[in-house]
Chains A and B, each alone.
Chain A
Protein backbone atom coordinates (compact mmCIF):
# COMPACT_ATOMS: atom_id res chain seq x y z
CA UNK A 1 0.00 0.00 0.00
CA UNK A 2 2.72 2.41 0.98
CA UNK A 3 4.55 1.54 -2.20
CA UNK A 4 1.45 2.16 -4.29
CA UNK A 5 0.96 5.58 -2.73
CA UNK A 6 4.63 6.41 -3.04
CA UNK A 7 4.45 5.58 -6.73
CA UNK A 8 1.31 7.57 -7.39
CA UNK A 9 2.69 10.42 -5.29
CA UNK A 10 6.11 10.40 -6.88
CA UNK A 11 4.63 10.68 -10.33
CA UNK A 12 2.25 13.49 -9.36
CA UNK A 13 3.81 15.82 -6.82
CA UNK A 14 1.05 18.39 -6.44
CA UNK A 15 -0.21 18.58 -2.91
CA UNK A 16 -4.01 18.89 -3.24
CA UNK A 17 -4.24 16.24 -5.90
CA UNK A 18 -2.11 13.89 -3.89
CA UNK A 19 -4.36 14.08 -0.85
CA UNK A 20 -7.42 13.55 -3.03
CA UNK A 21 -5.89 10.48 -4.62
CA UNK A 22 -4.90 9.17 -1.20
CA UNK A 23 -8.44 9.75 0.04
CA UNK A 24 -9.84 7.97 -3.04
CA UNK A 25 -7.60 4.95 -2.61
CA UNK A 26 -8.52 4.61 1.08
CA UNK A 27 -12.21 5.05 0.21
CA UNK A 28 -11.96 2.42 -2.53
CA UNK A 29 -10.26 -0.04 -0.15
CA UNK A 30 -12.91 0.57 2.51
CA UNK A 31 -15.65 0.07 -0.07
CA UNK A 32 -14.02 -3.18 -1.19
CA UNK A 33 -13.78 -4.51 2.36
CA UNK A 34 -17.40 -3.63 3.11
CA UNK A 35 -18.67 -5.10 -0.17
CA UNK A 36 -16.85 -8.41 0.12
CA UNK A 37 -17.71 -8.64 3.79
CA UNK A 38 -21.37 -7.96 3.11
CA UNK A 39 -21.66 -10.37 0.18
CA UNK A 40 -19.76 -13.24 1.76
CA UNK A 41 -20.92 -12.91 5.36
CA UNK A 42 -24.05 -10.75 5.29
CA UNK A 43 -25.91 -12.72 2.65
CA UNK A 44 -26.49 -16.40 2.16
CA UNK A 45 -23.49 -16.52 -0.14
CA UNK A 46 -22.95 -20.29 -0.03
CA UNK A 47 -19.25 -19.71 -0.60
CA UNK A 48 -18.60 -23.11 0.96
CA UNK A 49 -20.44 -24.73 -1.95
CA UNK A 50 -17.62 -23.68 -4.22
CA UNK A 51 -15.32 -26.10 -2.41
CA UNK A 52 -17.64 -29.06 -2.53
CA UNK A 53 -17.20 -31.69 -5.18
CA UNK A 54 -20.97 -31.84 -5.73
CA UNK A 55 -21.08 -28.28 -7.09
CA UNK A 56 -18.31 -29.02 -9.51
CA UNK A 57 -19.82 -32.27 -10.71
CA UNK A 58 -23.03 -30.29 -11.37
CA UNK A 59 -21.04 -27.70 -13.28
CA UNK A 60 -19.28 -30.47 -15.19
CA UNK A 61 -22.51 -32.16 -16.17
CA UNK A 62 -23.94 -28.80 -17.26
CA UNK A 63 -20.92 -28.33 -19.50
CA UNK A 64 -21.43 -31.84 -20.83
CA UNK A 65 -25.06 -31.06 -21.61
CA UNK A 66 -24.03 -27.90 -23.46
CA UNK A 67 -21.83 -30.07 -25.64
CA UNK A 68 -24.54 -32.74 -25.95
CA UNK A 69 -22.44 -35.53 -24.42
CA UNK A 70 -24.24 -38.66 -23.25
CA UNK A 71 -27.32 -38.10 -25.40
CA UNK A 72 -28.09 -40.19 -28.47
CA UNK A 73 -29.58 -37.28 -30.41
CA UNK A 74 -27.40 -35.30 -32.78
CA UNK A 75 -26.39 -32.06 -31.07
CA UNK A 76 -28.28 -29.12 -32.53
CA UNK A 77 -25.07 -27.28 -33.33
CA UNK A 78 -24.11 -30.01 -35.80
CA UNK A 79 -27.29 -29.69 -37.87
CA UNK A 80 -27.06 -27.51 -40.96
CA UNK A 81 -30.78 -26.72 -41.03
CA UNK A 82 -30.59 -25.35 -37.47
CA UNK A 83 -27.68 -23.12 -38.43
CA UNK A 84 -29.76 -21.69 -41.27
CA UNK A 85 -32.74 -21.23 -38.95
CA UNK A 86 -30.63 -19.32 -36.42
CA UNK A 87 -29.11 -17.23 -39.21
CA UNK A 88 -32.51 -15.58 -39.64
CA UNK A 89 -32.57 -14.69 -35.95
CA UNK A 90 -28.99 -13.47 -36.08
CA UNK A 91 -30.00 -11.20 -38.96
CA UNK A 92 -32.86 -9.82 -36.86
CA UNK A 93 -30.46 -9.20 -33.99
CA UNK A 94 -28.03 -7.44 -36.30
CA UNK A 95 -30.88 -5.30 -37.65
CA UNK A 96 -31.83 -4.36 -34.09
CA UNK A 97 -28.30 -3.20 -33.32
CA UNK A 98 -28.08 -1.11 -36.50
CA UNK A 99 -31.47 0.45 -35.83
CA UNK A 100 -30.41 1.24 -32.26
CA UNK A 101 -27.22 2.96 -33.43
CA UNK A 102 -29.30 4.89 -35.96
CA UNK A 103 -31.65 6.13 -33.24
CA UNK A 104 -28.77 7.04 -30.94
CA UNK A 105 -26.87 8.79 -33.74
CA UNK A 106 -29.89 10.77 -34.94
CA UNK A 107 -30.70 11.87 -31.41
CA UNK A 108 -27.12 12.88 -30.73
CA UNK A 109 -26.96 14.85 -34.00
CA UNK A 110 -30.07 16.82 -33.08
CA UNK A 111 -28.84 17.74 -29.61
CA UNK A 112 -25.16 18.07 -30.48
CA UNK A 113 -25.07 21.86 -30.58
CA UNK A 114 -27.44 22.84 -27.78
CA UNK A 115 -25.57 20.38 -25.56
CA UNK A 116 -22.15 21.96 -26.12
CA UNK A 117 -21.10 24.65 -23.67
CA UNK A 118 -19.08 26.67 -26.14
CA UNK A 119 -22.12 26.94 -28.43
CA UNK A 120 -24.52 27.97 -25.70
CA UNK A 121 -22.19 30.60 -24.22
CA UNK A 122 -21.39 32.07 -27.62
CA UNK A 123 -17.73 31.06 -27.76
CA UNK A 124 -18.21 29.86 -31.33
CA UNK A 125 -19.46 33.28 -32.36
CA UNK A 126 -23.19 32.95 -31.75
CA UNK A 127 -25.09 35.27 -29.46
CA UNK A 128 -25.39 33.91 -25.90
CA UNK A 129 -28.94 33.85 -24.63
CA UNK A 130 -30.66 32.78 -21.45
CA UNK A 131 -32.81 30.32 -23.36
CA UNK A 132 -29.69 28.81 -24.92
CA UNK A 133 -28.13 28.07 -21.56
CA UNK A 134 -31.41 26.73 -20.20
CA UNK A 135 -31.59 24.33 -23.13
CA UNK A 136 -27.94 23.42 -22.51
CA UNK A 137 -28.70 22.28 -18.97
CA UNK A 138 -31.83 20.43 -20.07
CA UNK A 139 -29.95 18.54 -22.78
CA UNK A 140 -27.16 17.65 -20.34
CA UNK A 141 -29.73 16.41 -17.84
CA UNK A 142 -31.32 14.28 -20.54
CA UNK A 143 -27.91 12.81 -21.47
CA UNK A 144 -27.15 11.97 -17.85
CA UNK A 145 -30.51 10.38 -17.22
CA UNK A 146 -30.65 8.26 -20.37
CA UNK A 147 -27.02 7.19 -19.86
CA UNK A 148 -27.41 6.23 -16.21
CA UNK A 149 -30.28 3.83 -16.85
CA UNK A 150 -29.00 0.57 -18.37
CA UNK A 151 -30.35 -0.76 -21.67
CA UNK A 152 -32.11 -3.63 -20.02
CA UNK A 153 -34.08 -1.42 -17.65
CA UNK A 154 -35.05 0.76 -20.60
CA UNK A 155 -36.21 -2.40 -22.35
CA UNK A 156 -38.33 -3.37 -19.34
CA UNK A 157 -39.99 0.03 -19.44
CA UNK A 158 -40.33 0.32 -23.21
CA UNK A 159 -42.11 -3.03 -23.61
CA UNK A 160 -44.90 -1.49 -21.55
CA UNK A 161 -45.60 1.04 -24.30
CA UNK A 162 -44.69 -0.98 -27.38
CA UNK A 163 -45.34 -4.65 -27.59
CA UNK A 164 -42.15 -6.69 -27.79
CA UNK A 165 -40.19 -6.96 -30.99
CA UNK A 166 -37.21 -5.58 -32.83
CA UNK A 167 -38.38 -1.98 -32.61
CA UNK A 168 -38.93 -2.02 -28.84
CA UNK A 169 -35.47 -3.47 -28.29
CA UNK A 170 -33.91 -0.96 -30.65
CA UNK A 171 -35.57 1.95 -28.87
CA UNK A 172 -34.35 0.69 -25.49
CA UNK A 173 -30.79 0.30 -26.78
CA UNK A 174 -31.04 3.59 -28.62
CA UNK A 175 -32.11 5.53 -25.52
CA UNK A 176 -29.14 4.44 -23.44
CA UNK A 177 -26.67 4.94 -26.26
CA UNK A 178 -28.16 8.33 -27.07
CA UNK A 179 -26.97 9.43 -23.63
CA UNK A 180 -23.51 7.95 -24.12
CA UNK A 181 -22.91 9.20 -27.66
CA UNK A 182 -24.59 12.54 -27.01
CA UNK A 183 -22.30 13.36 -24.13
CA UNK A 184 -19.19 12.27 -26.03
CA UNK A 185 -20.08 14.22 -29.15
CA UNK A 186 -20.95 17.38 -27.23
CA UNK A 187 -17.51 17.13 -25.69
CA UNK A 188 -16.08 16.81 -29.20
CA UNK A 189 -17.76 20.07 -30.17
CA UNK A 190 -16.48 21.71 -26.98
CA UNK A 191 -12.92 20.73 -27.86
CA UNK A 192 -13.07 21.92 -31.47
CA UNK A 193 -10.84 24.56 -32.94
CA UNK A 194 -13.15 27.57 -32.63
CA UNK A 195 -11.46 29.65 -35.36
CA UNK A 196 -13.26 28.37 -38.48
CA UNK A 197 -16.67 28.85 -36.88
CA UNK A 198 -15.75 32.32 -35.61
CA UNK A 199 -14.41 33.32 -39.01
CA UNK A 200 -17.57 32.14 -40.72
CA UNK A 201 -19.68 34.06 -38.22
CA UNK A 202 -17.65 37.20 -38.77
CA UNK A 203 -18.17 36.84 -42.51
CA UNK A 204 -21.92 36.82 -41.90
CA UNK A 205 -22.72 33.09 -42.10
CA UNK A 206 -26.06 31.91 -40.74
CA UNK A 207 -26.48 29.30 -38.01
CA UNK A 208 -26.93 26.51 -40.50
CA UNK A 209 -23.95 27.57 -42.59
CA UNK A 210 -21.71 27.75 -39.54
CA UNK A 211 -22.81 24.26 -38.58
CA UNK A 212 -22.29 22.84 -42.07
CA UNK A 213 -18.90 24.45 -42.81
CA UNK A 214 -17.39 25.31 -39.42
CA UNK A 215 -18.36 22.54 -37.05
CA UNK A 216 -19.43 19.37 -38.82
CA UNK A 217 -16.30 18.92 -41.00
CA UNK A 218 -14.16 18.88 -37.86
CA UNK A 219 -16.50 16.92 -35.64
CA UNK A 220 -17.78 14.31 -38.10
CA UNK A 221 -14.87 11.82 -38.13
CA UNK A 222 -14.78 11.67 -34.32
CA UNK A 223 -18.54 11.30 -34.17
CA UNK A 224 -18.63 8.43 -36.62
CA UNK A 225 -15.78 6.76 -34.76
CA UNK A 226 -17.71 6.94 -31.49
CA UNK A 227 -20.83 5.54 -33.13
CA UNK A 228 -18.86 2.62 -34.54
CA UNK A 229 -17.29 1.95 -31.14
CA UNK A 230 -20.70 1.93 -29.57
CA UNK A 231 -21.94 -0.44 -32.27
CA UNK A 232 -19.46 -3.03 -30.98
CA UNK A 233 -20.91 -2.62 -27.48
CA UNK A 234 -24.49 -2.62 -28.73
CA UNK A 235 -24.22 -5.91 -30.62
CA UNK A 236 -23.14 -7.62 -27.38
CA UNK A 237 -26.08 -6.13 -25.50
CA UNK A 238 -28.65 -6.77 -28.24
CA UNK A 239 -28.77 -10.43 -27.34
CA UNK A 240 -29.48 -9.56 -23.73
CA UNK A 241 -32.15 -7.03 -24.61
CA UNK A 242 -33.76 -9.79 -26.68
CA UNK A 243 -34.49 -11.58 -23.37
CA UNK A 244 -36.94 -8.83 -22.53
CA UNK A 245 -38.16 -7.49 -25.85
CA UNK A 246 -38.77 -11.00 -27.13
CA UNK A 247 -36.95 -10.91 -30.43
CA UNK A 248 -33.93 -12.29 -32.21
CA UNK A 249 -31.30 -14.52 -30.68
CA UNK A 250 -31.97 -13.37 -27.11
CA UNK A 251 -35.52 -14.69 -27.08
CA UNK A 252 -34.38 -17.99 -28.53
CA UNK A 253 -31.57 -18.20 -25.94
CA UNK A 254 -34.04 -17.78 -23.14
CA UNK A 255 -36.53 -20.24 -24.62
CA UNK A 256 -34.06 -23.01 -25.26
CA UNK A 257 -32.58 -22.54 -21.79
CA UNK A 258 -36.01 -22.98 -20.21
CA UNK A 259 -36.72 -26.04 -22.37
CA UNK A 260 -33.33 -27.49 -21.37
CA UNK A 261 -32.28 -27.63 -25.02
CA UNK A 262 -28.68 -27.13 -24.02
CA UNK A 263 -27.12 -28.00 -27.38
CA UNK A 264 -29.31 -25.30 -28.93
CA UNK A 265 -27.96 -22.87 -26.33
CA UNK A 266 -24.47 -23.76 -27.56
CA UNK A 267 -25.49 -23.05 -31.15
CA UNK A 268 -26.93 -19.65 -30.18
CA UNK A 269 -23.76 -18.80 -28.25
CA UNK A 270 -21.73 -19.72 -31.34
CA UNK A 271 -23.86 -17.44 -33.53
CA UNK A 272 -23.53 -14.73 -30.89
CA UNK A 273 -19.74 -14.99 -30.94
CA UNK A 274 -19.78 -14.87 -34.75
CA UNK A 275 -21.90 -11.71 -34.69
CA UNK A 276 -19.66 -10.04 -32.09
CA UNK A 277 -16.51 -10.96 -33.98
CA UNK A 278 -17.96 -9.88 -37.34
CA UNK A 279 -19.13 -6.51 -36.05
CA UNK A 280 -15.76 -5.92 -34.33
CA UNK A 281 -13.91 -6.57 -37.60
CA UNK A 282 -16.32 -4.51 -39.71
CA UNK A 283 -16.27 -1.62 -37.29
CA UNK A 284 -12.48 -1.50 -37.02
CA UNK A 285 -12.21 -1.63 -40.82
CA UNK A 286 -14.74 1.21 -41.15
CA UNK A 287 -12.99 3.23 -38.45
CA UNK A 288 -9.70 3.01 -40.34
CA UNK A 289 -11.50 4.23 -43.48
CA UNK A 290 -12.97 7.16 -41.59
CA UNK A 291 -9.62 8.20 -40.21
CA UNK A 292 -7.63 8.00 -43.42
CA UNK A 293 -10.30 8.12 -46.13
Chain B
Protein backbone atom coordinates (compact mmCIF):
# COMPACT_ATOMS: atom_id res chain seq x y z
CA UNK B 1 0.00 0.00 0.00
CA UNK B 2 1.39 3.40 -0.88
CA UNK B 3 1.67 6.37 1.52
CA UNK B 4 -1.88 7.71 1.32
CA UNK B 5 -3.44 4.37 0.44
CA UNK B 6 -5.16 3.88 3.77
CA UNK B 7 -6.67 7.33 3.71
CA UNK B 8 -7.98 6.88 0.16
CA UNK B 9 -9.44 3.51 1.08
CA UNK B 10 -11.25 5.04 4.06
CA UNK B 11 -12.59 7.86 1.93
CA UNK B 12 -13.73 5.35 -0.67
CA UNK B 13 -15.53 3.26 1.93
CA UNK B 14 -17.24 6.26 3.52
CA UNK B 15 -18.52 7.46 0.14
CA UNK B 16 -21.07 4.63 0.24
CA UNK B 17 -23.01 6.61 2.87
CA UNK B 18 -24.81 7.78 0.85
CA UNK B 19 -24.04 7.05 -2.81
CA UNK B 20 -24.84 9.73 -5.37
CA UNK B 21 -28.60 9.49 -5.87
CA UNK B 22 -29.25 12.79 -7.61
CA UNK B 23 -31.78 12.41 -10.47
CA UNK B 24 -29.30 13.60 -13.07
CA UNK B 25 -26.75 10.96 -12.16
CA UNK B 26 -29.37 8.23 -11.75
CA UNK B 27 -30.48 8.79 -15.33
CA UNK B 28 -26.85 8.58 -16.48
CA UNK B 29 -26.43 5.34 -14.57
CA UNK B 30 -29.68 3.89 -15.97
CA UNK B 31 -28.64 4.72 -19.50
CA UNK B 32 -25.21 3.15 -18.95
CA UNK B 33 -26.86 0.05 -17.50
CA UNK B 34 -29.10 -0.33 -20.56
CA UNK B 35 -26.09 0.08 -22.87
CA UNK B 36 -24.21 -2.64 -21.01
CA UNK B 37 -27.20 -5.00 -21.18
CA UNK B 38 -27.65 -4.28 -24.90
CA UNK B 39 -24.03 -5.14 -25.67
CA UNK B 40 -24.23 -8.30 -23.59
CA UNK B 41 -27.41 -9.49 -25.34
CA UNK B 42 -26.17 -8.64 -28.83
CA UNK B 43 -22.82 -10.31 -28.16
CA UNK B 44 -24.47 -13.41 -26.80
CA UNK B 45 -26.79 -13.63 -29.84
CA UNK B 46 -23.77 -13.58 -32.10
CA UNK B 47 -22.11 -16.17 -29.86
CA UNK B 48 -25.08 -18.53 -30.28
CA UNK B 49 -24.97 -18.01 -34.05
CA UNK B 50 -21.28 -18.94 -34.03
CA UNK B 51 -21.41 -21.63 -31.35
CA UNK B 52 -24.43 -23.62 -32.56
CA UNK B 53 -23.19 -24.58 -36.05
CA UNK B 54 -19.59 -25.07 -34.88
CA UNK B 55 -20.78 -27.04 -31.86
CA UNK B 56 -22.90 -29.34 -34.03
CA UNK B 57 -19.95 -29.94 -36.35
CA UNK B 58 -17.49 -30.42 -33.47
CA UNK B 59 -19.76 -32.98 -31.81
CA UNK B 60 -19.28 -35.20 -34.87
CA UNK B 61 -22.97 -36.12 -34.96
CA UNK B 62 -23.53 -35.07 -38.58
CA UNK B 63 -21.10 -37.66 -39.87
CA UNK B 64 -21.85 -41.31 -40.24
CA UNK B 65 -19.29 -43.18 -38.18
CA UNK B 66 -17.63 -44.66 -41.26
CA UNK B 67 -17.03 -41.27 -42.90
CA UNK B 68 -13.38 -40.54 -43.54
CA UNK B 69 -13.92 -36.80 -43.09
CA UNK B 70 -15.14 -37.26 -39.53
CA UNK B 71 -11.96 -37.09 -37.46
CA UNK B 72 -10.13 -34.32 -39.35
CA UNK B 73 -13.19 -32.06 -39.43
CA UNK B 74 -13.87 -32.59 -35.73
CA UNK B 75 -10.24 -31.87 -34.86
CA UNK B 76 -10.13 -28.66 -36.92
CA UNK B 77 -13.42 -27.35 -35.47
CA UNK B 78 -12.34 -28.10 -31.92
CA UNK B 79 -9.05 -26.30 -32.50
CA UNK B 80 -10.94 -23.32 -33.91
CA UNK B 81 -13.25 -23.22 -30.89
CA UNK B 82 -10.28 -23.47 -28.52
CA UNK B 83 -8.53 -20.61 -30.32
CA UNK B 84 -11.64 -18.41 -30.13
CA UNK B 85 -12.13 -18.90 -26.41
CA UNK B 86 -8.51 -18.80 -25.26
CA UNK B 87 -8.19 -15.09 -26.14
CA UNK B 88 -9.87 -12.81 -23.64
CA UNK B 89 -12.73 -10.63 -24.93
CA UNK B 90 -10.85 -7.45 -24.13
CA UNK B 91 -7.87 -8.55 -26.20
CA UNK B 92 -10.30 -9.31 -29.04
CA UNK B 93 -11.78 -5.85 -28.52
CA UNK B 94 -8.38 -4.17 -28.74
CA UNK B 95 -7.59 -6.05 -31.93
CA UNK B 96 -11.00 -5.34 -33.51
CA UNK B 97 -10.86 -1.67 -32.68
CA UNK B 98 -7.38 -1.45 -34.17
CA UNK B 99 -8.54 -3.31 -37.29
CA UNK B 100 -12.01 -1.94 -38.09
CA UNK B 101 -12.27 1.14 -35.90
CA UNK B 102 -14.17 2.05 -32.74
CA UNK B 103 -17.80 1.09 -33.27
CA UNK B 104 -20.50 -0.97 -31.56
CA UNK B 105 -20.00 -3.62 -34.24
CA UNK B 106 -16.40 -4.11 -33.07
CA UNK B 107 -17.64 -4.55 -29.50
CA UNK B 108 -20.30 -7.08 -30.51
CA UNK B 109 -17.70 -9.11 -32.39
CA UNK B 110 -15.26 -8.89 -29.48
CA UNK B 111 -17.92 -10.38 -27.17
CA UNK B 112 -19.33 -12.82 -29.69
CA UNK B 113 -16.13 -14.61 -30.69
CA UNK B 114 -14.85 -15.84 -27.28
CA UNK B 115 -18.38 -16.61 -26.08
CA UNK B 116 -19.02 -18.46 -29.35
CA UNK B 117 -15.96 -20.57 -28.59
CA UNK B 118 -17.20 -21.37 -25.08
CA UNK B 119 -20.79 -22.11 -26.17
CA UNK B 120 -19.63 -24.22 -29.13
CA UNK B 121 -17.56 -26.46 -26.91
CA UNK B 122 -20.33 -26.94 -24.35
CA UNK B 123 -22.97 -27.52 -27.06
CA UNK B 124 -20.74 -30.19 -28.59
CA UNK B 125 -20.39 -31.94 -25.23
CA UNK B 126 -24.14 -31.78 -24.57
CA UNK B 127 -24.92 -33.19 -28.02
CA UNK B 128 -22.57 -36.09 -27.43
CA UNK B 129 -24.27 -36.88 -24.13
CA UNK B 130 -27.70 -37.27 -25.78
CA UNK B 131 -29.27 -40.60 -24.74
CA UNK B 132 -28.67 -43.37 -27.24
CA UNK B 133 -31.97 -45.27 -27.48
CA UNK B 134 -34.15 -42.74 -29.36
CA UNK B 135 -31.22 -42.12 -31.69
CA UNK B 136 -30.90 -45.82 -32.42
CA UNK B 137 -34.61 -45.98 -33.12
CA UNK B 138 -34.33 -43.11 -35.58
CA UNK B 139 -31.31 -44.69 -37.23
CA UNK B 140 -33.07 -48.02 -37.50
CA UNK B 141 -35.97 -46.24 -39.21
CA UNK B 142 -33.49 -45.09 -41.86
CA UNK B 143 -32.87 -41.47 -40.83
CA UNK B 144 -29.87 -39.79 -42.46
CA UNK B 145 -27.20 -38.22 -40.20
CA UNK B 146 -28.65 -34.74 -40.83
CA UNK B 147 -32.17 -35.86 -39.91
CA UNK B 148 -30.69 -37.54 -36.86
CA UNK B 149 -29.18 -34.21 -35.77
CA UNK B 150 -32.32 -32.14 -36.22
CA UNK B 151 -34.90 -34.66 -35.01
CA UNK B 152 -32.77 -36.53 -32.47
CA UNK B 153 -29.69 -34.83 -31.04
CA UNK B 154 -30.76 -31.18 -31.03
CA UNK B 155 -34.26 -31.59 -29.55
CA UNK B 156 -32.93 -33.83 -26.80
CA UNK B 157 -30.08 -31.52 -25.81
CA UNK B 158 -32.02 -28.30 -26.27
CA UNK B 159 -33.13 -27.78 -22.64
CA UNK B 160 -29.55 -28.08 -21.40
CA UNK B 161 -28.29 -25.85 -24.17
CA UNK B 162 -30.85 -23.15 -23.38
CA UNK B 163 -30.02 -23.43 -19.68
CA UNK B 164 -26.31 -23.06 -20.25
CA UNK B 165 -26.78 -20.08 -22.57
CA UNK B 166 -28.85 -18.35 -19.89
CA UNK B 167 -26.11 -19.12 -17.40
CA UNK B 168 -23.56 -17.42 -19.65
CA UNK B 169 -25.75 -14.33 -19.88
CA UNK B 170 -24.56 -13.25 -16.43
CA UNK B 171 -20.91 -13.49 -17.48
CA UNK B 172 -21.69 -11.62 -20.70
CA UNK B 173 -23.03 -8.67 -18.69
CA UNK B 174 -19.78 -8.48 -16.74
CA UNK B 175 -17.75 -8.71 -19.93
CA UNK B 176 -19.83 -6.01 -21.60
CA UNK B 177 -19.21 -3.73 -18.64
CA UNK B 178 -15.44 -3.87 -19.07
CA UNK B 179 -15.44 -3.21 -22.83
CA UNK B 180 -15.25 0.43 -21.81
CA UNK B 181 -11.49 0.00 -21.81
CA UNK B 182 -11.44 0.39 -25.55
CA UNK B 183 -13.92 3.29 -25.38
CA UNK B 184 -17.27 1.49 -25.61
CA UNK B 185 -20.10 3.17 -23.68
CA UNK B 186 -21.66 1.49 -20.68
CA UNK B 187 -21.30 1.00 -16.94
CA UNK B 188 -17.54 0.49 -17.10
CA UNK B 189 -17.08 3.69 -19.06
CA UNK B 190 -18.97 5.74 -16.49
CA UNK B 191 -17.07 3.99 -13.69
CA UNK B 192 -13.79 4.99 -15.25
CA UNK B 193 -14.92 8.60 -15.61
CA UNK B 194 -16.12 8.81 -12.00
CA UNK B 195 -12.96 7.18 -10.66
CA UNK B 196 -10.83 9.59 -12.64
CA UNK B 197 -12.67 12.52 -11.07
CA UNK B 198 -12.39 10.91 -7.61
CA UNK B 199 -16.19 11.03 -7.26
CA UNK B 200 -16.40 7.91 -5.12
CA UNK B 201 -20.10 8.36 -4.31
CA UNK B 202 -20.85 8.06 -8.04
CA UNK B 203 -18.62 4.99 -8.21
CA UNK B 204 -20.75 3.34 -5.53
CA UNK B 205 -23.98 4.17 -7.37
CA UNK B 206 -22.64 2.55 -10.53
CA UNK B 207 -21.35 -0.48 -8.61
CA UNK B 208 -24.77 -0.94 -6.99
CA UNK B 209 -26.45 -0.77 -10.41
CA UNK B 210 -24.05 -3.40 -11.75
CA UNK B 211 -24.62 -5.67 -8.76
CA UNK B 212 -28.39 -5.26 -9.11
CA UNK B 213 -28.35 -6.24 -12.79
CA UNK B 214 -26.14 -9.24 -12.09
CA UNK B 215 -28.37 -10.40 -9.22
CA UNK B 216 -31.55 -10.09 -11.33
CA UNK B 217 -30.00 -11.96 -14.25
CA UNK B 218 -28.63 -14.60 -11.88
CA UNK B 219 -32.06 -15.17 -10.31
CA UNK B 220 -33.75 -15.29 -13.71
CA UNK B 221 -31.25 -17.71 -15.25
CA UNK B 222 -31.26 -19.85 -12.11
CA UNK B 223 -35.04 -20.17 -12.26
CA UNK B 224 -34.95 -20.99 -15.98
CA UNK B 225 -32.41 -23.73 -15.33
CA UNK B 226 -34.44 -25.18 -12.46
CA UNK B 227 -37.63 -25.15 -14.53
CA UNK B 228 -35.86 -26.88 -17.38
CA UNK B 229 -34.38 -29.51 -15.09
CA UNK B 230 -37.46 -30.41 -13.08
Are the C-beta atoms of B88 and A17 separated by less than 8 Å? no
Q: Which of B2, B185, B203 has the most CB of A within 10 A?
A: B2
User: For residue A145, which residue of chain B has the nearest CB?
Assistant: B211
Name the distance in Å between A167's Cβ and chain B's nearest Cβ.
Answer: 9
Residues A104-156 near B (CB distance < 8 A) = 144-145, 147-150, 152-153, 156
Note all chain B residues with C-beta closer than 8 A to A35.
37-42, 45
C-alpha gap A62/B96 in the complex (Å): 10
What does the 1/0 interface line of B174-212 toward A look like (CB < 8 Å)? 110110010001001001100100000001000100110
How many residues of A are counted as interface, with CB atoms below 8 angstroms from the partner's CB atoms?
59
Name the distance in Å between A57's Cβ and chain B's nearest Cβ.
Answer: 11
The answer to whether A12 has its CB under 8 Å from any CB of chain B is yes
Note all chain B residues with C-beta closer than 8 A to A50.
100, 105
C-alpha gap A156/B200 in the complex (Å): 12
The answer to whether A4 has its CB under 8 Å from any CB of chain B is yes
One of A28, A45, A160, A273 near B86 (C-beta < 8 A): A273
C-alpha gap A17/B94 in the complex (Å): 42
C-alpha gap A208/B150 in the complex (Å): 55
What does the 1/0 interface line of A239-260 toward B look like (CB < 8 Å)? 1100100000000010001000
Are the C-beta atoms of A150 and B178 separated by less than 8 Å? yes
Are the C-beta atoms of B45 and A144 separated by less than 8 Å? no
Note all chain A residues with C-beta closer than 8 A to B207.
149, 153
Which of B22-30, B63-71, B141-149, B220-228 touches A?
B220-228
User: For residue A40, which residue of chain B has the nearest CB?
Assistant: B104
Are the C-beta atoms of A240 and B100 separated by less than 8 Å? no
C-alpha gap A153/B195 in the complex (Å): 10
The answer to whether A199 has its CB under 8 Å from any CB of chain B is no
The answer to whether B215 has its CB under 8 Å from any CB of chain A is yes
The answer to whether A277 has its CB under 8 Å from any CB of chain B is yes
Are the C-beta atoms of A144 and B215 separated by less than 8 Å? yes
C-alpha gap A251/B214 in the complex (Å): 29
Are the C-beta atoms of B159 and A11 separated by less than 8 Å? yes
Are the C-beta atoms of B105 and A34 separated by less than 8 Å? no
Q: Which of A12, A24, A62, A239 has the most CB of B within 10 A?
A: A24
User: For residue A268, which residue of chain B has the nearest CB?
Assistant: B91
The answer to whether A285 has its CB under 8 Å from any CB of chain B is no
Residues A263-283 near B (CB distance < 8 A) = 269, 272-273, 276-277, 280
Residues B36-87 near A (CB distance < 8 A) = 37-42, 45, 86-87
Are the C-beta atoms of A157 and B177 separated by less than 8 Å? no
Known contacts A148-B215, A149-B211, A150-B178; A24 and B103 CB within 8 A of each other: no
What does the 1/0 interface line of B8-41 toward A look like (CB < 8 Å)? 1100100000000000000000000010011111
